[in-house]
A and B are shown apart, each in its own frame.
Chain A
Amino acid sequence: MMLSVETVTRQFGGFKAVDGVSLQLAEREILGIAGTNGAGKSTLFAAIAGQQPADAGRIRFDGHDITRLPPYRRARLGLVRTFQVPREFKSLSVHQNLLAAAANPQGERLLNAFVRTRSLREHEEQLVAKADGILQFLNLTRVRDKLAGGLSGGQKKLVELGRVLMLDPRCILLDEPFAGVNPVLIDEICERVRELHARGIAFIVIEHHLQALKALSQRMIVMDRGSILAEGDPHTVLDDPRVQEAYMGGVA
């Protein structure tokens, strides 16, 4: 298993936002997570990616125990996330947003702001080309030099996706990639996720837009009040009476 989450709990005060959740993600899998507001989906992401470390349980990624690692160490292993509310770097251009995400430990040294050797310049040029390639892939070339703070919600989601792609990740956690995104762009995002999946990247996708999620996922989990309510093939899961009840009247 690429990612395995074992009975992870995360509480705030006495409230267990995530309560003993276990899940597994295989290489090149797309797992969908649905659930009503407050079901604990985003907190689960935060526990996996490190923003809200798990209080109990264990998380393994690629054989490493990452339960206690800070977020940046997890990202360097190839496990990255996007956020429900886009968190673009608003005072950087779209292009710079991507460059800021690239692994560039040499170029980012303070002294190297003043001493730019040929090899550093060449490395930066490679990153620029890589970022341009990703912008083209995401259809963002038009807004390359615009400040990210001025983009539409959907474009910001794409910038976030572009940023994590700069890390050559092995697993991407997408937190509501379709929220506040117009339908045309939803199709486009789905298409990009499928292409990335075909290139070997695994995904976990949190989404309220169930039709899009069903179409995208190979397997689905529905969460309710911090726990997993149902798990399995998307059609079966969404037809599950408990799931329909949780969603008050059903969706199928």
Chain B
Amino acid sequence: MTAYLLAIGIVALIYCLLALGLNLQFGLTGLVNFGVVAFFAVGAYTSGLLSLQGVPLPLSFAAAAVLAGLLALPIGLLSLRLRDDYLAIVTLGFSEAVRITIQQESWLTQGVQGLPGLPKLFASWGPVSDAAIFAVLLGAVALVAWGTVRLTGSPFGRLLKAIGDDEAALSALGKDPARFKVQVFMLGAALAGLAGAFYAHFITFITPEQFIPLITFYVWMGLIMGGAGSVRGAIFGSLLLMVFLEGSRFAKDWVPGVSEVGMASLRLAAVGLALILITLYRPHGLWGGGKSQ
């Protein structure tokens, strides 16, 4: 049971990292990134492939973040001059393109067979390796949360919020919004890449099917439930989502007459209902602080 909870905790913290990245992009700056999972996948495969070549994990983790961040550059330059909804479509399409590329280019990625046997983080620690992964992830989430707060209070963060409010007005004040948008897009993507590396070296077996757009929308659900624009919202929203998704597994013990499969659908319905109720009654999210509009 402890092992199970630890595993859930690790996945929840990985979602927290993804949500914190999306929070920089969407929560602060208003960039509608529907391709979170692409950068997550690139991070996972980059670190996975490098580690299979014998590259030490700290280096492969760094490479995952850097490569995911760099991959955001062309997407950013191509599409950040577009309106919100176009960016959403471009990034969604991009994430599917990345998944299908991973699936097809089997000379590099072993295609649908995936990459089994990735080195596990802290493998040498034996029975406490999961606890160590959890602790390191917790540290990473705390660091990113601190960094986000610091960023939000800085002149750079001020401009991100200004872009989120009214980009054209900012450009009338002598600032080039595109530059800041590309930077924050890359930063959020690098965080997703880092999250991907953690995922790869925790699960130790990655396949293209793990990187479907549903992952992106889970991250969005968590962020919106928690409160976009708020660090607490990103973190607690992701944790809450995980409680819904995983916790409802146990609900079958108390809900009689529902099959295992039926339960899986029920919990998605529960998440959907929660999302509807929250957007209706707490449009800024549970921890979003209800900023005046």
Contacts and interface: CB of A to CB of B under 8 A. Distances in A.
B7 to A, nearest CB: 33
Contacts of B83: none
Contacts of A150: 292
A78 B98 CA distance: 45
A108 B161 contact: no
B273 interface: no
Interface string A10-51: 000000000000000000000000000000000000000111
For the side of the interface on A, what is the size category?
Answer: 35 or more
A163 B165 CA distance: 15
B156 A112 contact: yes
A113 B161 contact: no
Contacts, number: 105
B138 to A, nearest CB: 21
- Does more than half of chain B's interface fall in helix, strand or loop, or is it mixed? helix
Contacts of B154: 107, 112-114, 116
Nearest to B170: A100
B249 interface: no
B116 interface: no
B157 interface: yes
B150 A108 contact: no
B151 interface: yes
B171 A72 contact: yes
Contacts of A80: 172-174
Interface string B152-192: 00111111011011101111111110001001100100000
B2 interface: no
Contact of B158 (A96, A110, A112): A96
A90 interface: yes
Given A70-B171, A91-B165, A110 B183 contact: yes
Contact of A147 (B166, B175, B292): B292
Nearest to B183: A110
B174 A167 contact: yes
A81 B172 CA distance: 7
**Residue among B159, B164, B180 with the most chain A CB within 10 A?**
B159
A35 B183 CA distance: 43
B58 interface: no
A104 interface: yes
A132 to B, nearest CB: 16
A113 B157 contact: yes
A92 B162 contact: yes
Contact of A100 (B173, B183, B291, B292): B173
A76 B171 CA distance: 10
A87 B168 contact: yes
Given A50-B172, A88-B166, A91-B164, 14 more contacts: A51-B172, A72-B174, A76-B174, A89-B166, A90-B166, A92-B161, A96-B161, A99-B158, A107-B154, A108-B156, A110-B156, A110-B184, A163-B173, A164-B173
Interface of A: 49-51, 70-72, 75-76, 80-81, 83, 87-92, 96-97, 99-101, 103-104, 107-110, 112-114, 116, 124, 147, 149-150, 163-164, 166-167
